[in-house]
Structure 1
């Protein structure tokens, strides 16, 4: 393992050293930008009204060749959020913070993990297919999304984070892993010349207790350290009556500045955190109005409970739902930046991440129905209920055949993952030109074990209980529909080992024609390689499903999947990306930009698992490389009183290929889309202590030649699923110092327009508002007391209906996933 890793280190470094450099120029001196960024990251917090990300002088690294640039000078759409802005947003998860970014629709209703994130009308059925998370400028995990794993699952926000940067489109298709959608860079604190630290404890009204701490300071001249993290535990807002949320994260780094020559930074981060995977619950739909199902609180209810936590399924395996969805990973790396001679810099970014990212959840299959209706679904038309008892042996149900029941699958997905990334670049600056050439290499693996299906019969109530049902068939035969509550065994299984590699060369040129006018352009060539060995359920020709006990009257095991023979995947393809942009500054405070970019998205493990051998050989179907063309232009205004960032964009997407689990079976979707939109982001500071921040998005995104249901359903002209036409948020904040005490008030009102949960546009998600607010008191710049409230009106806002079926659910009782209910967090922090 060590020799392999050292070999990759040598490959990355040697390839970068072989790059030829030409002459170019920076708009802003690179070493000055680095110094400003280091100084910014070393500063302690000074209050709630965040100045970073409110002026154009904050330095952003994401979307650049590596040296960073002023946000006001960036010729692409980028949002930056400082530590205080993150605290004011009070996100429920890492993905939840992205609600603050224009052009991004983030659904965090699934809990700490399992978010769905959508960008600028890019068509996607879920997870975060076009979102890459970086830590300290390097991708945490090279593939943006695998089934049951998106990047935000692999990192948590805590007090060690200095700021978060998010770039949409623009230059993202050239740098890092070539993400054409959204690249999010989490920037950690670093140590400076003085000792600083923070200790913080917080408590919620749903009994979460959490501790955060960090300390930073000097280790020597020009060398600093930082170490910190958090630990938290609770049952969660949706209480399953057991410890569903538990874990923490610890981060450490050492940073050394070589004066004006550059810097080196080494870091390590360990995450061990799990949480309940929150899934759809019963709600009631009447027209466009939604209300909660009787007895099932829309903001706090969950089907999970003690009776379903750890049970043995039909094939004898016990799955503990307390393990939920989370990650146990270590991430280490270093960043090196040095000016070798005047005008010539070398940069190296390298990281390794490895560990486990498992998912276990109770996945509902259908809306509640009477037990008598369920009997016909399990045993055929004309079947009746002969017995209905609790599966734990505690007795029969008094209501019998009229009892509302539903089925939910106990799903288990285990993933052992790793990712190595090396990004080497040379930058040559001369006169008004700057040329950057680089080499990117990554190797990533995933060892998968899936068991989906495993449906269990439940009472339709919070903390549902398992039921055993006996039935009498239409022919009068006595049958047993369940075993320990289970109505079926595993319906879809995977045993697989995958390895992927990406190799890319990129070159970017910037030319400052005049002090006001700058143009830039760049290209990237990337080769994508995947090898895999896997087994999926046997086909009918291979013997199909089996009856485990040979008894046709024990219905629960009559059709259990069996893994088929091993098969291999071998995929190879490459593609070019490019971009060209222009930036014109009327003054240091006012500028405009325009850009065109072509990006690519390669098929990852899950698509290739379901692709045919012919598609893999010909790079077609599910093995196609998706292409994204983006046209965008923007206005940037940064003054002492106000900031405004406005972007207009149009993108065309061709070659989308993805699979979703429909009725426990992978189902393909293929095609393209187009989208036109406007993104607005800004803040006004009319008088001292008060700020009014706002962000909004208009999006007109529709499918083009897009087919779902394995090519049977044409969705051309339908709206891209789960992305609203209108979305906006307004955040007023007021801070009034009184001597050494600084009380602060802040609130956010967010509007999410109507959307469709499915590409067929049959499952409507009505618009809703969400109100969050808080108050904070800082004493002598050392002690901060804060209360934050989320969803103060306890709004019932839906983020998805039932994504595991094709078609609408009709009116009345349906399955849907609402946002989390009203909650409050109380915190006390001491900073020095």
Structure 2
């Protein structure tokens, strides 16, 4: 998302694009905590703080994320952090909130699922999907404290728009001490605040796949040291994978009021954000694979094709439930909060951060079950040995299918997951500074609830074509294999109400031993409690009509008796780190940390009570010069106690165990002459399972590579800006490489390496207008991010199910500020 350069920066020259594109020249910067008074004052004086002055001294910026809240100089931070300015976000042109994290070393973000339903993996932490070790925050407070529930991860609850000033991401480090104690990745979204003058911004954008979007914000003073900001976006379209109906629709509004106390003693801020947005949940499609060679399935465009279409949009299943796929996956939530920071006495500060979120996060999706298969083979799968087809017709008119038993068909489930969620978070801290020592103590409390209603299964018979048609099948002996195309009813049901409470005490001591040497250490005690009332399927499925010849309803799951859930456990986390600066621009750091991840609602529903434990050793070198920024971080972590469930053949299957990983993260920016920058980042990761079992403990995956995370990945971003009179054109491009991975822990489903090329051009006209076009996946690469997660084992060669990255697309925008 983009904010135009203000007149001051346009006079002094445009910031180096590498800083604007990825912000990684600001690596080792960022905040998990609320802004300090100094930061707030700076924001009020220059709300464009996300834009970096090329003449500024490198390494002098103050960062807050990963600290106790008081902030520290970027060059002194003893942990790995990446910061992305508003312009960096715009130039990266992410397709979703999660897609932005492709720019962060050590993070593998799969955004091929659309605006929602991302999979995000961190530093070799083993995970079956979603974003189990990723927490998103708004202004330093977790948006929803559980990082992942089934069918709900944090990025689903927030959108990037022009009201975002910057995004900050800390990996490992001190994350296990602060906020909700996330040992993996903490991403903090920092909203704009107002300044001393009235300002505004508006942008219209349009894509070559017919998505229209409008963004706007205004901000200004309310008198004294008080200011306001309000803005948001609205968008609608069918999406890159066009189902031939309006699948993407919604918007977000954010507003805040900020006040700075006199004499720079602190600040207070109140905010509210309303999100109502949904989109198509993009899932695997037919692809042809022969070893490491990938090609399109006949008639199915890998970059734009989707099974969903007019015939599958509205359906009535076997149990009479009517669903509309246009509801898709998204969120309708309100998030409001309050931050307070005040120096109550010399050297003594108090901080309070409060947040409330409430609303719904629902999923209605078309979930493929098997690759294209001849109708005759599916007849045997549905009716048993010796079954043959006597009738094969289109369910919605059109008569018999001419190719009969040889017709390639597929089954896909129409899944419905309803979630009503809420959360309340309070993080209180007291900080005392005496000389070179700063001591912080805090108390964290979170209450979060969800009311779940699921109906999985509900498979429908489809043609293996884009915008698939629904098919009815009758077998020999007069047996009906389908009803309105459905081959079965629900196979897994959940009706549950969960209530979670987290209590944590933390203490951190930071000591500047010498001007060059800084030490820090801290501990956190956390208590995790969950209660709930859960109903899942009864032990035996039922035949709804008692007629064995109607195959579609012979084994329908029905809800069972309620079970009470009552869980509680406590754990300690700790960390110690050191930073040594040889000069103000060259330094090194080292850190050890122990973190924990408590079982979430879905794990506890399946009886998995293991607490995940992570030990991380990391160290790095930092160089911050006017013409060069370079950050290198090496890490080794051991992970024990993963416990998760995966939906296999429409029922949950457990995965438990551990892993170890060793890796190196590199990021840097070279600015050899004014106007040109070359940004690069890369990750090497050697991550393998240790005593890790899948398929309910039946398969030992020890020694296998951790799924979905490549050994090698890198990005290179050259950019050039050259003012020409009143015009300021800029060219930028990013080439990204993603190495070979495996989609499954058994290492049977290979995801071959691929390259992705993105590029764009923008032109600033005078001080107030910017025109821009960006292109994603310009070479239309078929890059797979997921195989078939609904099965165990290889899919073989030939037609398979897999989820490719989105195809080539272009976005055109015109923006004006005032």
- TM tier, shorter chain? over 0.9
Q: Is the 8 A contact 2:34 2:69 kept in 1?
A: no
Q: Is the 8 A contact 2:50 2:166 kept in 1?
A: no
1:12 aligns with: none
**CA deviation string 1:249-296 (max 9, x = no partner):** 000001111131011111000000000000000000112100000000
Q: Distance in 2 between matches of 1:110 and 1:52?
A: 41
Cα distance, 1:195 vs structure 2: 1.4
User: Which residues of 2 match residues 169-568 of structure 1 at below 5 A?
Assistant: 169-258=172-261, 259-472=263-476, 477-539=477-539, 544-568=540-564
**CA deviation string 1:350-381 (max 9, x = no partner):** 00000000001000000001111110110011
**CA deviation string 1:493-527 (max 9, x = no partner):** 00000000000000000010001101010000000
1:156 aligns with: 159
Q: Distance in 2 between matches of 1:339 and 1:429?
A: 11
Please, what TM-score do these two structures have when normalized by structure 2? 0.95
Q: Is the 8 A contact 2:34 2:140 kept in 1?
A: no
Q: Distance in 2 between matches of 1:452 and 1:767?
A: 32
2:22 aligns with: none
* Divergent runs of 4+, >4 A: 30-33, 44-55
Greater shift after overlay, 203-212 or 734-743?
734-743
2:755 aligns with: 769
**Which structure 1 segments of 5+ residues have no match?**
1-27, 612-621
Q: Distance in 2 between matches of 1:50 and 1:451?
A: 54
1:5 aligns with: none
1:687 aligns with: 673
- Residue 685 (structure 2) pairs with residue 699 (structure 1): yes
* Secondary structure at the counterpart of residue 264 of structure 2: coil
* Secondary structure at the counterpart of residue 538 of structure 2: coil
**Which structure 2 segments of 5+ residues have no match?**
1-30
Query: Structure 1 residues 512, 44: closer, same or farther in 2, change over 3 A?
Result: closer
* Secondary structure at the counterpart of residue 243 of structure 1: coil
Q: Is the 8 A contact 1:227 1:252 kept in 2?
A: yes
**CA deviation string 1:584-608 (max 9, x = no partner):** 1111111110000000000010000
**CA deviation string 1:386-422 (max 9, x = no partner):** 0011111331111111111000000000000001000
* Secondary structure at the counterpart of residue 519 of structure 1: strand
> Matched residue pairs, number?
786
Q: Is the 8 A contact 2:162 2:215 kept in 1?
A: yes
Q: Distance in 2 between matches of 1:496 and 1:123?
A: 27
Query: Structure 1 residues 360, 41: closer, same or farther in 2, change over 3 A?
Result: farther
* Secondary structure at the counterpart of residue 795 of structure 2: coil
**CA deviation string 1:34-77 (max 9, x = no partner):** 32454247635599988699942333322111122232221100
Query: Structure 1 residues 371, 117: closer, same or farther in 2, change over 3 A?
Result: same
Q: Is the 8 A contact 1:41 1:189 kept in 2?
A: no
Q: Distance in 2 between matches of 1:54 and 1:568?
A: 59
Q: Distance in 1 between matches of 2:44 and 2:796?
A: 52
Q: Distance in 2 between matches of 1:315 and 1:379?
A: 20
Query: Structure 1 residues 492, 70: closer, same or farther in 2, change over 3 A?
Result: same
2:105 aligns with: 102
- Residue 792 (structure 2) pairs with residue 806 (structure 1): yes
Q: Is the 8 A contact 1:537 1:562 kept in 2?
A: yes
Q: Distance in 2 between matches of 1:45 and 1:203?
A: 25
1:598 aligns with: 594
Q: Is the 8 A contact 2:47 2:192 kept in 1?
A: no
Cα distance, 1:461 vs structure 2: 0.1
* Secondary structure at the counterpart of residue 175 of structure 2: helix
Q: Distance in 1 between matches of 2:648 and 2:56?
A: 42
Query: Structure 1 residues 470, 216: closer, same or farther in 2, change over 3 A?
Result: same
Q: Is the 8 A contact 1:31 1:260 kept in 2?
A: no
Q: Distance in 2 between matches of 1:50 and 1:341?
A: 35
Cα distance, 1:781 vs structure 2: 2.1
Q: Distance in 1 between matches of 2:784 and 2:130?
A: 17
Query: Structure 1 residues 35, 555: closer, same or farther in 2, change over 3 A?
Result: same
Greater shift after overlay, 686-695 or 111-120?
686-695
Q: Is the 8 A contact 1:54 1:683 kept in 2?
A: no
Q: Distance in 1 between matches of 2:785 and 2:44?
A: 35
Q: Is the 8 A contact 1:50 1:82 kept in 2?
A: no
**CA deviation string 1:791-831 (max 9, x = no partner):** 00000000000001110100000000000000000000001
User: Which residues of 2 match residues 14-163 of structure 1 at below 5 A?
Assistant: 34-36=37-39, 38-40=41-43, 43=46, 55-163=58-166
User: Which residues of 2 match residues 668-687 of structure 1 at below 5 A?
Assistant: 668-687=654-673
**CA deviation string 1:187-241 (max 9, x = no partner):** 0010011111110000000000000001111111211111000000000000000
Greater shift after overlay, 257-266 or 57-66?
57-66
**CA deviation string 1:470-512 (max 9, x = no partner):** 011xxxx220100000000000000000000000000000010
2:802 aligns with: 816
Please, what TM-score do these two structures have when normalized by structure 1? 0.93
Q: Distance in 1 between matches of 2:167 and 2:55?
A: 11
Query: Structure 1 residues 54, 201: closer, same or farther in 2, change over 3 A?
Result: farther
Cα distance, 1:738 vs structure 2: 1.6
* Secondary structure at the counterpart of residue 821 of structure 1: coil
* Secondary structure at the counterpart of residue 197 of structure 2: coil
1:575 aligns with: 571
Q: Is the 8 A contact 2:172 2:616 kept in 1?
A: yes
